[in-house]
Each structure stands twice: as structure tokens, then as C-alpha cells.
Amino acid sequence: MGYADKHLGLYLSHRGELVDYATAIVGDRGRGEDVVQEAFFRLRSSSADRPLDEPLGYVRRIVRNLAIDWVRRLASEGKHLAGSVACETVAEDWPSQEDAIVKRDELKIVMEAMAELPERTRIALELHRFEGLKLNDIAARLGISVARVHSLVYEGLEHCRKRLAREP
């Protein structure tokens, strides 16, 4: 029996396992079958004249490398294979129109709620949430205790949360 016949026997006896292995990487059974077939062709052309110590391990390595190359090529082309385990879903740069409308409405409610706050509470909340100041810095700027600043920020946030919760 020649090496090509041994490779055919190896291919036929382990084909299902190799297709499952490739499919787990590429995320698509049809593509997994293509990868295994390509691996077999490479095995036949690369080792037709010499025996392999671990032919199944060698084929698995070829399958793995081809599958990873396929996923990388797909990613570099900017395509996305639906349902692929190996491919990551890329987040859109922009929210959907529905999300944008909802967020705009929520922002309007929050801005209205902030306008309803007492001046010192509004200022403390703005300094903390929008300017990123620490409570110590706000206390120094407003000339009040850190505990009082904490209380003002908390009251302001609670007022905004309640207003958001009331709106449909």
C-alpha cells in the first residue's frame, strides 16, 4: 500500500472528526468540509514520498492552520460570517436610529430634571458628573463639607432617576 493510499484511508476514517474540528474554528460546516478537503490535498502533495510519524496529528495541524487562515482572510476582507464561533461581532460606530431617539429623549428628561434642582445641588451634580471633579474638589469650590457634597450629588442623581422612571 503506497503513502497516497494510506492518506486516503486516514482521510476517510477521520473525515467526520476533522470536519467537526474545522467547523468549530470557522463556524460553518460547509466551510469546514472545504478546509478538510484542502488539508487532504496538501497532505497528499507534501508527503507523497515520505512517511509521517503522526499522520493524524499532522493532518489536524494542517486543518487548524487552514481554518485559522480562512478566518483571518475573512476578517481582513471586512466580511462577517453569521453565527461563527471564531469571528467576533464588531460593534457599529453609530447607534441605531431608535436608540438615538430614545437616548435623546432621556437626555431631554435629565436636562429638565437638572433644571428643577436647587442651584447648589445642580452645580455639585454637574461638577461631579460632567466635569469629573472629585467630591473633595467640589467641597472646596463650593465651600461646604465633603459629606454635604456627597448628599447633594446623591439627591440630584435620585431626582434624575425618578424623573426617568416616571416617563414612558
pLDDT in tens, 115-140: 999 999 999 999 998 888 999 999 99
Alpha carbon 2 to its chain centroid, in Å, reads: 48
Q: Assess whether pLDDT exceeds 60 at residue 79.
A: no
CA distance 56 to 59: 5
Q: Is the pTM of this model over 0.75?
A: no
**Topology, domain 3-76:** Rna Polymerase Sigma Factor; Chain: A (1.10.1740)
The CATH architecture assigned to 97-166 reads Orthogonal Bundle (1.10)
SS (H, E, C) 89-125: CCCCCCCCHHHHHHHHHHHHHHHHHHHHCCHHHHHHH
pLDDT tens per residue across span 22-59: 888 888 888 888 888 888 887 777 655 566 677 778 88
Domains of the chain by residue range:
3-76, 97-166
The confidence score (pLDDT) of residue 2 equals: 53
Closest C-alpha to 40, from 19, 14, 59: 59
